Amino acid sequence: MTDMSTTPLTQLDRVVIRFAGDSGDGMQLTGDRFTSDTAALGNDLSTLPNFPAEIRAPQGTLPGVSSFQVHFADHDVATPGDAPDVLVAMNPAALKANLADLPRGGTLIVNADEFSRRNLAKVGYAANPLEDGSLTGAGYHLHALPLTSMTVEALAPFTTLTRKEKERAKNMLALGLLSWLYSRDTAGTEAFLQAKFGGAPEILEANLTALRAGHAYGETTEDFAVRYQVAPAAMPPGTYRTITGNQALALGLVAASERAGLPLVLGSYPITPASDILHQLSTLKRHGVTTLQAEDEIAAVGMALGASFGGALGVTTTSGPGLALKSETIGLAVATELPLVVVDIQRGGPSTGLPTKTEQADLLQAMYGRNGESPVAVVAAQSPTDCFDAAIEAVRIATTYRTPVILLSDGYLGNGSEPWNVPSSADLPDLTVTFATEPNDLDDEGRPVFHPYRRDEATLARPWAIPGTPGLEHRIGGIEKADVTGHISYDPDNHDRMVRLRQAKIDRIADTLPPLQVDDPTGEARVLVLGWGSTYGPIAAATRLVRATGAHVARAHLRHLNPLPADLGDLLRRYDRVVLPEMNLGQLALLLRGRYLVDVHSHTAVRGLPFTAAELAQVLHEHLLALAAQEVPV
Amino acid sequence: MTTRAGAAPAPPRSGLAGVPTAPVDVTLTKKEFTSDQEVRWCPGCGDYAVLAAVQGFLPELGLRRENIVFVSGIGCSSRFPYYLDTYGMHSIHGRAPAIATGLATAREDLSVWVVTGDGDALSIGGNHLIHAMRRNVNLTILLFNNKIYGLTKGQYSPTSDVGAVTKSTPAGSVDHPFNPVSLAIGAEATFVARTMDSDRAHLTEVLRAAAAHRGTALVEIYQNCPIFNDGAFQLLKDKDQAEARIAHLRAGEPVRVGSGELAQVVVRERSGRLGVVPEHEVTRSQQVLVHDPHDPDPSAAFALSRLDDPSMQHMPMGIFRQVDRPTYDDAVRAQVDAAVTSAGTVVSLDTLLRGRDTWTVDGTRPGEVEQTLEGEVTDGPIAAAGDALVEEADEVAGADGPRTE
């Protein structure tokens, strides 16, 4: 829409906005649309949705609060931001649940209509904080606006809509206002609404009207003395889109399937926060994708393994509780040495835990959560867009080494979004798979014969001979197999050999890994901060904060958790101190200490939320101080 | 009076359609289907007879051997695939139907068989079994029922009778058993049959019909375990006893037990329930039941399955139910094929990756962006962009989704 505003513009380099409201208020959609319009403007950005597990917790209560935080800037952004600069609170519960995160001096935009005595009482406010001076007294810039009644008023011409229906568009009015305040173009949202409600012209018009009314209100009100602009970030040339981690992961699987020449068969059982991948893949049938919604987690991985046996790319997606159920079948895939990709979008545990919150506490389950010596490859994604590359890497390892690969993402990555410089398919690795079609050995009498466990010398992978291939009929299964022939074998020496061969095969993967990237610009750092998975963003931001003070800190991040990169041991020993932040109680630290005998300093938190940059910067400063103190001569 | 059997439906698509047949000049025999592995069941085990029947029957299908796959779970009978020179997977306890579902859906050109037992299929794998039958995946499931756990050495199974004294029930089992045929009919199975290890002719006849059936064919095979539950089916194997007890189910014929003077028939009583009465005593209020496995209504088949009780007084054997219903795997493939076909030209991976809402950063002018809104790249109306969040359904439709746990 044309910009008619005369309010003075102030340039900012970065802003963090948090939209918060009741679960039914549409905060996720509002945040999502604001994000898309922000991306279209060319800002770099990162988002953090945060919502309750209940689809509709009781209205107006603290457990029902849903929020969406977006951080956008004229430079590259590593995290969704530690704390919001602006809090949009659609009701008293949203204010109460989020106010503590808003620093003094922050901007508050509040839907005053919802601050009724009843709603205030629901969350334990004795007095109306919009009126008792507590907010302005605390230094917040408060804009208490009647967003609901403004929406109803704007939609007065829509005589066939009920009041309740009109009220539901208040999120669009809020979005319009924020778009004005931060100089966002709403064309993208308008197009989105057109596509979404094209079949319901009145609903479409009502949403557009509310959106425009919010924008117009900003232009005419004197409530806001200034509006803001955040210039586009200087990003590498390319075609961009915003994408969530789960979307990127789904696309990565499809891309890998096409590059491998294998049809993708997903077996999945719905579970938060992984279900989006099932949803997304179920819409991609035209790319030859088959999705099977199984009766349970066990069947889901079983279907995937059955498809792999048949020569497809078998994938299953789940979260921690589902991974627990899949353990035995993953063990079968280890024994049968078939490719299988198991995606774990980690969430808070144990048991049902925190279904919609993030955590990294499934690492040891991924590594060891099976009976027997049962090694699998484990890879982790580090950012929403990186989920694409991690998925391709998981498929590469699974198909090359004929092994299950557990791909670890988490709720923060899965639901978070950021701009993605879309790669060209031509730049993706060639993952072409060759099935066995001929005998690969001679029997005792020198006749050609197929031996399903005769391995490739380089990778130690066994041949993938799929049903339908004449002459290669064979039987595989979970009972120990004789080396080479694959017959049932209970021989002690054979078992020892096979256990070591399966481990050696996984270890061989390290041969193909690129050298670790170490971010140590001056080469003077003595502290290395190491991470894996979704701590990438917070660690990068914390490193920046520490370096801004003139201190030196090096940084490295692991994609591969099993096997670990061959050069990791040397890297760890090169630094006087290694700090490892994890959203668990130190699972990777345990592995590294055992493997390398390096005194890794663990920093852990399991709050269901990503680390803040400030928290990690503080931790790094403490380690820098401690290291310096050791040097002080006594 | 008698009820009329329903007209036989037009022959549906064969369960073997799509599976390549062996070249005409190749005649496969039992030998080609016998692997080089030593069979390791106990002497006298009923599994031997079933294996011999299957090895003898498979050549009759005329399929390419490499396009036949046997998938099994865990238990004595689940060793079956090792002894057949086809493709095979000896999987894990109870999961064979799930694995076979993935395989059969991914590969239309395979004839997929599941071999399982009463513990494997009905206890640990009960969920997968019922869902495979509900979906009607094109599988033939051979359920070896010996009413005991053999491989773990003699504990009672979900088909053991109440009172069964076993290793784990020294005071007698208090568990009420499943009737596998009743269970299968209740689980929407489209083909349900019962046969016996020692009756090779009947077993082969049932296998023939099961293989030809498109959809899940459940074949319960009474199988003797000579070690832990010997003689469980002796009443049905003893020639004289069997004659008086077995009701052979034949489409279009009255369901009859025994013959001659002692012949009994299954009748529908005025109350609707089934009864077994001497043939010459049938009254006007009773209808002799004429077996119709193709009846869309499963109630008669179910009622027949309830004639069986631990005393084996009346034991129906044969095909209880055989109806035509679209299979899961055919339907799944049809959706994918339709999506691929309706796309017209191949949708490039690049189009998919770019999505419908992109902007371009021009390297020559840092920060300069140009937004483009493209057409849809997914199958659905608007599935890709903003649908990542559980909440969204709420705001636009007000629909209640499933809980997120």
Residue with tokens 């494997």: B120
Return phi, psi of residue A251, to 5°.
-65, -35
Average pLDDT over residues A435-454: 97
By C-alpha distance, the chain A residue nearest B335 is: A285
pLDDT at A209: 97
Q: Which of B82, B106, B404 shows the shortest C-beta gap to A356?
A: B404
Three-class DSSP category at B153: coil
| DSSP-H helix ranges across B306-368 | 328-342, 349-354
User: For the residues of B88-145, what is the DSSP string, one character each?
Assistant: EEE--TT-HHHHHHHHHHH-TT-EEEEEEEHHIIIIITHHHHHHHHHHT-S-EEEEEE
Q: Do B355 and A235 touch (CB under 8 A)?
A: no
Nearest to B2 by CA among B280, B267, B264: B267
Q: Is the peptide bond before A273 cis (omega within 30 degrees of 0)?
A: yes
Burial A526-551 (b: 16+ CB within 10 A, else e): bbbbbbbbbbbbbbbbbbebbbeeeb
Kindly report which listed range (A1-15, A73-87, A149-163, A167-181) carries the lowest average pLDDT score: A1-15
Integer Cα distance of A512 and A397 in angstroms: 10
CA distance B352 to chain A (A): 8
Q: How many Å lie between the alpha carbon of B292 and the closest alpha carbon of chain A?
A: 31
First-last CA distance in chain B: 57
Partners of residue A236 in chain B, C-beta under 8 Å: 361, 363
Name the region of A599 (left: φ>0; alpha: ψ -120 to 50; beta: rest): beta
Nearest CA in chain A to B63: A468
* CB contact set of A626 (below 8 Å; sequence gap of 6+): A577
Q: What is the ipTM of this complex?
A: 0.91
Closest chain A residue to B402, measured at CA = A55
How far is residue A64's CA from residue A601's CA, in Å, rounded to a whole number? 37
A221: nearest Cα among A96, A105, A109: A109
Residues of A in contact with B384 (CB under 8 A): 247, 280, 283
Residue B170, C-beta contacts closer than 8 angstroms, at least 6 positions apart: none
**The tokens of B92 are what?**
């894990």
- Choose from B64, B82, B188, B389 for mutation: most chain A CBs within 10 A: B389
- CB-nearest to A305 from B88, B102, B360 is B102
Number of CB pairs, chain A paired with chain B, less than 8 A apart? 315
CB contact under 8 A, A241 and B355: yes
CA nearest to A274, candidates A224, A229, A323 = A323
**A interface mutation test: which of B55, B71, B87 has the most A CBs within 10 A?**
B87
Helix (H, G, I), strand (E, B) or coil at A364: helix
Could you tell me which of A26, A48, A31 has the C-alpha nearest to residue A384?
Answer: A48
CB atoms within 10 A of CB A350: 10
Q: Residue B311 contacts by C-beta under 8 Å, 6 or more apart in sequence?
A: none
Q: Is B110 in Cβ contact with A310 (below 8 Å)?
A: yes
Contacts of B299 (CB under 8 A, 6+ apart): none
Among the partner residues B64, B98, B362, nearest to A303 by beta-carbon distance: B98
For residues A312 and A334, give the distance between their C-alpha atoms in angstroms, rounded to a whole number. 17
Select from B71, B130, B361 the residue whose CB has the most chain A CBs within 10 Å, as the one to mutate to test that interface.
B361
Poorest-pLDDT segment among A53-57, A65-69, A449-453, B385-389 = B385-389
Domains of chain A in start order, with CATH, are 9-230 (3.40.920.10), 241-427 (3.40.50.970), 518-629 (3.40.50.920)
The span from the first CA to the last CA of chain A, in angstroms, equals: 69
Strands A377-380, A404-410: pairing kind = parallel
Report CB contact under 8 Å: A279, B332.
no
Q: How far apart are CA B62 and CA A195, in angstroms?
A: 54
For residue B184 the two structure tokens come to: 């299968």
What's the whole-number average pLDDT of chain A? 95
* Phi-psi group of A81: left, alpha or beta (phi > 0 → left; psi -120 to 50 → alpha; rest → beta): left
pLDDT tens for the 405 residues of chain B, in order: 444 555 555 567 999 999 999 998 888 999 999 999 999 999 999 999 999 999 999 999 999 999 999 999 999 999 999 999 999 999 999 999 999 999 999 999 999 999 999 999 999 999 999 999 999 999 999 999 999 999 999 999 999 999 999 999 999 999 999 999 999 999 999 999 999 999 999 999 999 999 999 999 999 999 999 999 999 999 999 998 999 999 999 999 999 998 888 899 999 999 999 999 999 999 998 999 999 999 999 999 999 999 988 889 999 999 999 999 999 999 999 999 999 988 766 678 999 999 988 888 886 444 444 555 444 344 433 333 333 223 333 333 222 333 343
**Which letter does DSSP use for residue A602 in this model?**
E
Length of chain A as a residue count: 634
Buried b (16+ CB within 10 A) or exposed e, B48-72: bbbbbbbbbbbbebebbbbbbbbbb
The band of A56, judged by pLDDT with boundaries at 50, 70 and 90, is: confident
Nearest-angstrom CA–CA distance, A332 and A610: 34
* A153, containing H or E segment: helix A147-154
Optimal mutation site among B32, B36, B99, B392, interface A, most CBs of chain A within 10 A? B99
Residues of chain A neighbouring B390 (CB-CB closer than 8 A): 51, 55, 272, 275, 356
Q: Indicate left, alpha or beta for A631 from its phi (over 0: left) and psi (-120 to 50: alpha).
A: alpha
A494-539 pLDDT, tens digit per residue, is 999 999 999 999 999 999 999 999 999 999 999 999 999 999 999 9
